Structure 1
Amino acid sequence: MAIRLRAVALVLVISAAMFAVACGVKSNPIPSSLLVPAPPSSVALKSTAEGMLISFNVPSAKDASRAIEDIKIYYGYLPLTGDPACPPCPPRLRKFYDFTLAKGKSKVDPMEGGRFSYLDTAAPMNMEAVYQVVLTDGAGRESKPSHLARMPRLVPAGAPLNLKATSGDQEVILAWDAVRASVNGKTLTDISGYIVVRKGPDGTKQLNERPLTVPMLKDQTVNNGKDYSYQVFATRAYRDHNLPGQGSQWVKAAPKDMQPPAPPSDLAGASTAEGIYLRFTPSPDVDVAGYNVYRKTKGGQWSKLNASLLVENVYIDKGVKPEKTYYYRVQAQDEAGNLSQFSEEMDIVHLP
């Protein structure tokens, strides 16, 4: 009996050892649901004159078996009123475009910066294009379908005409003709507004999130002394979409400082052997580039004495004659070329 018990105990020890070797103690098995590729979470559509542009991010993976090797874009085209059999029902997509990302198998690399893009030139005009994306990894595992991405492809609104830009002080005022577009002789009634795009030192950006309802915009997010360009698009409304049409011609603008500086003050003079020595209190403005000094004789016309801007608040007028009376005034000029009012006038008899 004792021999039999020892034999059973030995078998249990050997089984436990084999179980420990087989299973290990590193970690629990990875759930299969975590190995399946995640579907793209942000499928973006853009209606263009050439077709419907679809783009989305493709997740990267260090493990070759988990890297995405195949992309299927399921598609369908519906009337703008929806599926005739069931307008509110989600469409059932059966056709698809197939793309391979496997090395050595793809003739064209549609990826840039981890984002996949494809222009569907078959998307018909005046129909709603619907898409859904499925990803497959190197081990053949398929993701769940992405959410349905849908957008109408409408005849684009015409380009706004006569766009004009008026540059001001820290602002640019834009105005253009209202778009009265028509398709096949029928006036479009779904022009929802206008989108304004600006190019400048901060890159290219859309200035308004919602379409403007009037054909004008005051841009007060500019800086003086910088160059900007503007373009305007009319938008057509469809459900919750505002689809931009053809762009206007680009126009340029250069806002600049139009505020004149404060004038210099306390102008005073004294006769010296060299001429009449002038001194004044500078303008308090920080953007003053320099000063101009003007002189005249009694009954004469004012004339500027300095050929270039003075950067100091003193000046010696050497072109004077003894025992003659002269009148002086000074003006400040800022970096934008704005001129201040003149200082108070001063008269002096030259008695060297």
Structure 2
Amino acid sequence: MFPRLLVCGLAVILVACGTPGAPQPPSLRLPKPVEDLRAVRQGDKVILTWTSPSVTTDDGGIRGAATARICRSLLAGERECRDKAADIPSLPGQKATFTDDLTPLLQSARQDFVSYNVEVLNDRGRSAGPSNAVTILLAPSMTAPQNVSAQLDRNGVTISWTGTEPPPAGALRAEYRYRVLRSVAGEASAETVVGEAPARAGSGSFTDRNFQWERRYAYRVAGVTRVLSRDGRVLGEFEGDPGARVVVNAHDSFPPAAPRDLQAVYSGVETQRSIDLTWTPNDDADLAGYHVYRREGAGNFARISSEAARTPSFRDTNVQPGRTYTYSVTAVDERGNESQSSQPASEGVPQ
């Protein structure tokens, strides 16, 4: 009886320790599909960007050389790669980019759009499928204007250019504009759209008034194609080739306009004599205040306001009976630039 029990015990131990788990299929080592493909058109080129996958569909690491296949399609919703644009190395987890030339498609004038996707292949040439698709509209691009220049004055920065004739209409309805963009020179800052104007041949200009003094700016003017639907909705837009930049040092050395309509009026009684001054307010955006000057007889003007007056008025209480005083006023901006003097105004103090 003991031998039989011993055998049964060994059988239980062997069953408990030796049972394997469920069999696993061999890994196909297929890179996960790209999910963040993006496309930007600039001129007659399209720039594709995406993140290369770093793992396979079964969450394993990518081994061996992987290849990114860029595919073009002229059919909506097509997933099969019938038109290969290029094969490029795929580095796991790295940002990837590819630039495609649209010139042959634009010259055909028969297509409204082209779609792209990216398929990442393993070292055996197999993939888990294409990425998300992106679509580019095939309207003609607007060339950058010529002779771009910048002129700084106290009213702002005026960007001028010589435009070219917009391209002829194609299969898609489009309108064309010139876009003025600004960035901070010497810094890795994003460009800001500061204005637009209809694209036409000949001279054009735009004045940027929304900037900060004492900064250095770079401006450029880009031709923009805006694709429209039949009912006028904007389907998409893109810039032409980037034009030349012009740099402006926005140093404010421009004084405000001189105050106008200065008037001087005597007021008061014997114990409180004064001359009240008023003038038309200055509308400069960076106005800091006003300086008031006075002279007596044929003497020189001397400033009598200890601080810049914040309002367009001033009361002079340091006056003497029987004397005549002549006044002038200047405007001062936030950087200390002082305007020309106003027209003088005179007033006498009674005996």
Q: TM-score range by the shorter chain?
A: 0.5 to 0.7
Change (3 A) 1:99 1:247: closer
CA distance in structure 1 between the aligned counterparts of 2:136 and 2:211, rounded to whole angstroms: 34
* 1:229 matched residue in structure 2: 218
Q: 1:16 to 1:75 in 2, by over 3 A?
A: same
| Counterpart contact for 1:179–1:234, Cα < 8 Å | no
Do the aligned residues in 2 keep the contact of 1:192 with 1:242 (CA within 8 Å)? no
Distance 2:241 2:339 in 1: 43
Equivalent-residue separation in structure 2 for 1:58 and 1:43 (angstroms): 10
SS of the residue 1:131 aligns to: strand
Letter in 2 for 1:205: E
Query: Cα offset for 1:90?
Result: 3.2
* 1:337 equivalenced with 2:345 (yes/no): no
Where does residue 34 of structure 2 map in the other structure?
A: 40
Question: 1:145 deviation in Å?
Answer: 0.9
Equivalent residue for 2:184? 200
Q: Quick check: 2:115–2:136 contact (8 Å CA) kept in 1?
A: yes
SS at match of 2:127: coil
Q: How does 1:285-324 map to 2 (within 5 A)?
A: 298-300=297-299, 302=300
Distance change >3 Å, CA 194–CA 68, structure 1 → 2: farther
Deviation at 1:64, TM superposition (A): 9.4
- Determine if contact 1:52/1:121 at 8 Å carries over to the other structure: yes
| Structure 2 counterpart of 1:275 | none
State the Cα distance separating 1:54 from its structure 2 match: 2.2
Q: Distance in 2 between matches of 1:68 and 1:130?
A: 29
Aligned to 2:13: 13
Residues in 2 aligned to 1:65 and 1:140: alpha-carbon distance in whole angstroms: 17
How many equivalent residue pairs?
A: 279
Q: How does 1:43-122 map to 2 (within 5 A)?
A: 43-48=37-42, 51-60=45-54, 65-66=61-62, 69-76=65-72, 78=74, 83=75, 90=78, 92-96=80-84, 97-101=86-90, 114-121=94-101
Q: Output the aligned Cα RMSD.
A: 5.4
The answer for unaligned runs of 5 or more in structure 2 is 200-204, 229-234, 260-285, 308-324, 347-351
- Post-superposition offset of 1:297: 7.1
The amino acid of 1:118's aligned partner reads F
Distance in 1 (alpha carbons) for counterparts of 2:14 and 2:190? 72
Q: Give the superposition deviation at 1:117.
A: 1.8
Structure 1 pair 161–90 and aligned structure 2 pair: CA distance change class (3 A): same
User: AA paired with 1:69?
Assistant: A
TM-score scaled by length of structure 2: 0.55
In structure 2, the partner of 1:284 is none
AA aligned to 2:193 is L
CA gap of 1:196–1:76, structure 2 versus 1, over 3 A, is same
Question: What CA deviation, in whole Å up to 9, does each residue of 1:278-331 have, x standing for no partner?
Answer: xxxxxxxxx999x9998967325x3789xxxx99xxxxxxxxxxxxxx999997
SS in 2 for 1:130: strand
Query: Residue 2 and residue 219 in structure 1: after superposition, are their counterparts in 2 closer, same or farther (change >3 A)?
Result: farther
Relative distance call for 1:177 and 1:205 in structure 2 (3 A) is same
Pair 1:190 & 2:165 matched: no
What is aligned with 2:120?
Answer: 135
1:269 aligned partner: none
SS of equivalent residue, structure 2 residue 15: helix
**CA distances 1:203-242 after superposition (whole Å, capped 9, x unpaired):** 241427xx95757767565222112222222222346221
SS of 1:223's equivalent in the other structure is coil
TM-score (norm 1): 0.55
Q: Displacement, 1:120?
A: 2.6
Unaligned runs of 5+ in 1: 24-28, 103-110, 263-286, 312-325, 346-352
- How far apart in 2 are the matches of 1:64 and 1:138? 15
Q: Distance in 1 between matches of 2:193 and 2:102?
A: 32
Cα deviation for residue 56 of structure 1 reads 1.5
- For the 8 Å contact 2:144–2:241, the answer to whether it is kept is yes
- In structure 1, what is the Cα distance between the partners aligned to 2:210 and 2:220? 16
Relative to structure 1, is the Cα distance of residues 99 and 177 closer, same or farther in structure 2, using a 3 angstrom cutoff?
A: closer
* The structure with more strand, counted as a fraction of residues: 2
Partner Cα separation in structure 2 for residue 237 and residue 340 of structure 1: 47
2:277 is aligned to none
CA change 1:298–1:74 in 2 (3 A) is closer
Q: Is the CA contact (8 Å cut-off) linking 1:159 and 1:247 kept in structure 2?
A: yes
